[in-house]
Chain A
Amino acid sequence: MPNKIIKDGTITDDQWLLLDQDATDVPDGPVIVPLSLWESEKEALAGRKALGIWLNSDESPERIASDLENFDLVAINFPVFVDGRGFSYGRDLREKYGYQGEVRAIGEFIRDQLFFLKRCGFNAFALTGVDLEPALETFNDFSDSYQSAIDQPEPYFKRH
């Protein structure tokens, strides 16, 4: 049975296969490859249908900035949930590089971070270890925000 993830505010089946950091074989079907594999096999992988890439928290999206058109999905790994670099990576992908595909959080992030992750441009969440249904409620923790972010580029002071 496929894993369940949260995507665009609903719970759905995950169609993607996440490859390990040290994977060398790339099976058929939608795969999310590690950055190292992309960098070493760029020519073989480019043009492949349904290709995703994942970045670790010490791998800035800057490294794939000129390759983004190859990916339907960019996943950001949170090796521990308090490593907040991924929040900036999400914004970079959307704001700096104009990436329109799926931006997915993977790894050890927790449900209490969903609201902020969404604000930073993430639209998919491979959240593990908790029931997804109640986790959906956290997207409504706050009805509004002060700052400019991806979900609401206009800060509060410009809207009132």
Chain B
Amino acid sequence: MYIYNQHDQQLVDERVAQYRGQTERYLAGDISDDQFLPLRLQNGLYIQRLAPMLRIAIPYGTFNSQQMRKLAHISRHYDKGYGHFSTRQNIQLNWPQLEEVPDILAELAEVQMHAIQTSGNCIRNTTTDQFAGAAADELEDPRPYCEIVRKWSTFHPEFAFLPRKFKIAFCASTADRAAIQMHDIGIEVIHNVDGETGFRILVGGGLGRTPVIGTEIVDYLPKQHLITYLEAILRVYNQLGRRDNKYKARIKILVRAMGIEAFREKVEQEWAILKDGPSTLTEEEFERSKSYFRSPEYINIDNDSADQALEKQAQQDPAFGNWMKRNVDAHQAPGYAIVTLSLKTTGYAPGDVSDVQMEAVADMADQFSFGEIRASHQQNLVLAHVQKDQLLALWQQAKVHGFATPNINYLTDMICCPGGDFCALANAKSLPIADAIQRKFDDLDYMYDLGEIDLNISGCMNACGHHHIGHIGILGVDKKGKEFYQISLGGSQDRDASLGKILGPSFSQADIPDTIEKILDIYVSLRIDGESFLDTYRRVGLAPYKESVYAK
């Protein structure tokens, strides 16, 4: 993973000092609330319903055991002993004191972490595939490019006060595990016919109250132009994006209003000036960036005999076999596997991890995965490089610490925002909905029979829980001061991305589990030959679900 050099460390340290000064001036009354707002947001600090919330960056979702231990320490010392992994591959603390945030940031800086640009109207943490550098279906590791973008976007002087927040995601594999079509800029790493690396770039995707799937702006951009091209897009957006209405300020609205042709033309005009200029990337810089993401020192393992041994272990302990089937993915190195630690255990808020659990993950990472950890946008943790002959031992430890729920990509592996229990923006609570669904559908055989289903829950239109792209989406809405929930069907975040359609009138909290059950019953009755939930929906449409759910 990326290791800071002295320059990186110095800038992060200087940022801590800068924010400490700003906090002191705020507490002394020298900065107004309005002026302090973007300053604290660009250091990750929100003021929430009950307390401030601090969002800590995990650049492109990769971190290490030492950093995890520091997060455990911080959550214990400055917070209530837990953290929440978000859909931005970040971690959020729900109870820090505003006065102590500079100290927290200083502690983070000791382990090369920060909260820079995790909020505010600026370029946010670049995200990518949680299996990057390990996935079997990967063209190349996208993280060296993410790191180049991280450097460029960090303290970018021109783009710190954009019309609205700005999110960039990379993907470099057959399956899109980073939902790049749902980002302000989505970047796919591709090779041209000569095998040279370049980028296919999408622009103007996003969720929120106007969900839009990104549109291609360039089909192949040679890699050396990555930064100049991004800069051209941002420059057009910074000047022309709407600033009169924050709900119409995202780049997706601008692209839609101008039309992709006109938008592209404008970008190309700007790019003509920047192209081949000082920001043009060099082969040396690519190599330097790649050098931080070389594969770990794998040992030679005979894959076939490792698989045979696993099969035996699975026969002896079917629960292990089941976990392997659900929570373990194919790795690019023979004899290795990717393990997802489920943070979706009934009784715990999705994405939440206690300080003790954080330390357990750090220990498991050290023991089984070269000390490296990933956070996924589905709010789970990943140990990316595990020897197959150690899976059983890892599973046993994961069970002890509550990470072995065998549900990855199934119904109870829900994406869920913190909702009205914590968030000041939320219209409704989301955590009790997730909990009620997990309790209702606790029969594993039934859940597996349903096949893979993405169920995503957001407590408001801002869509932090990605409800638009869940096969089943649940959105909290406010109706005359009461909390209700709208259900949508048919969303997808993969390459065949689509936005869910609203089923009909909203439901009370108490009615949600039964309504979900009715929807699942209809699916089971209509599916043909093991057809997935999404495929069935796409074949039959909304009508049969509507009929059953709203039948008098």
Contact = CB atoms under 8 A, between A and B. Distances in A.
A in complex with B: yes
A3 interface: no
Contacts of A156: 7, 151
Interface string A75-97: 00000011111011101000110
B105 to A, nearest CB: 14
Interface stretch (A11-19, A45-53, A66-74, A136-144): A136-144
B367 interface: no
B121 interface: yes
Given A84-B159, A157-B282, A143 B10 contact: yes
A70 to B, nearest CB: 23
B278 A87 contact: no
Interface stretch (B197-205, B235-243, B489-497): B235-243
A82 B121 contact: yes
Interface string A94-138: 011000000000000010110111011000000000100000001
Contacts of B152: 146-147, 155
Interface string B309-320: 000000000000
Contact of B157 (A110, A112, A138, A149): A149
A85 B239 contact: yes
A91 B231 CA distance: 12
Given A96-B273, A141-B14, A149-B158, A83 B243 contact: yes
Contacts of A145: 11, 155, 157
Contacts of A149: 157-158
Interface string B129-162: 0000000000000000000000110111111111
Contact of B273 (A95, A110, A112): A95
A158 B282 contact: yes
Which of B227, B239, B281 counts the most A-chain CB atoms under 10 A from its CB? B239
Contacts of A96: 273
Contact of A84 (B14, B154, B238, B288): B238
A144 B12 CA distance: 11
B219 interface: no
A95 B270 CA distance: 11
A76 to B, nearest CB: 12
Interface string B435-446: 000000000000
A148 B227 CA distance: 10
Given A83-B161, A85-B239, A153 B278 contact: yes
Contact of A81 (B17, B18, B35, B154): B35
Interface in B18-35: 18, 22, 30-31, 35
A155 B162 CA distance: 22
A96 B238 CA distance: 16
B248 to A, nearest CB: 15
A81 B17 CA distance: 22
Interface string A18-62: 000000000000000000000000000000000000000000100
Interface in B28-44: 30-31, 35, 38-39
B278 A148 contact: yes
Interface residues of B, number: 39
Given A146-B152, A153-B278, A88 B157 contact: no
Contact of B279 (A117, A120, A155): A155
Contacts of A85: 238-239, 243
B288 A87 contact: no
B163 to A, nearest CB: 8
B278 A158 contact: yes
Given A85-B238, A155-B278, A156-B7, A146 B151 contact: yes
B511 interface: no
B265 interface: no
B3 to A, nearest CB: 15
Contacts of B238: 84-85, 87-88
A147 B221 CA distance: 20
Which of A84, A116, A156 counts the most B-chain CB atoms under 10 A from its CB? A84
A84 B18 contact: no
Given A87-B161, A95-B273, A112-B22, A146 B282 contact: no
A87 B278 CA distance: 19
Contacts of A84: 121, 158-163, 238
Contacts of B154: 146
Contacts of B151: 146-147, 156-157
B282 A60 contact: no
Nearest to A115: B157
B277 interface: yes
A147 B279 contact: yes
Contacts of A110: 31, 35
Contacts of A91: 158, 235
B521 interface: no
A154 interface: yes
A148 to B, nearest CB: 4
A157 B288 contact: yes
Interface in B283-337: 285, 288
B314 to A, nearest CB: 48
A88 B161 contact: no
A20 B227 CA distance: 39
A154 B161 contact: no
B261 to A, nearest CB: 20
Nearest to B38: A82
A157 B238 CA distance: 25
Nearest to A112: B39
Contacts of B11: 142-146
18 contacts: A82-B121, A84-B162, A87-B160, A87-B161, A88-B158, A91-B235, A110-B35, A112-B35, A116-B155, A130-B30, A141-B14, A144-B10, A147-B157, A148-B277, A155-B279, A157-B282, A157-B288, A160-B7
Can you list the 9 inter-chain pairs with the closest CB atoms, starting with the nearest? A84-B161, A119-B157, A116-B157, A146-B151, A148-B278, A157-B285, A87-B158, A141-B18, A148-B279
Given A87-B159, A144-B7, A148-B277, 11 more contacts: A83-B243, A84-B163, A88-B239, A91-B235, A113-B160, A120-B157, A141-B14, A141-B18, A143-B14, A147-B151, A157-B151
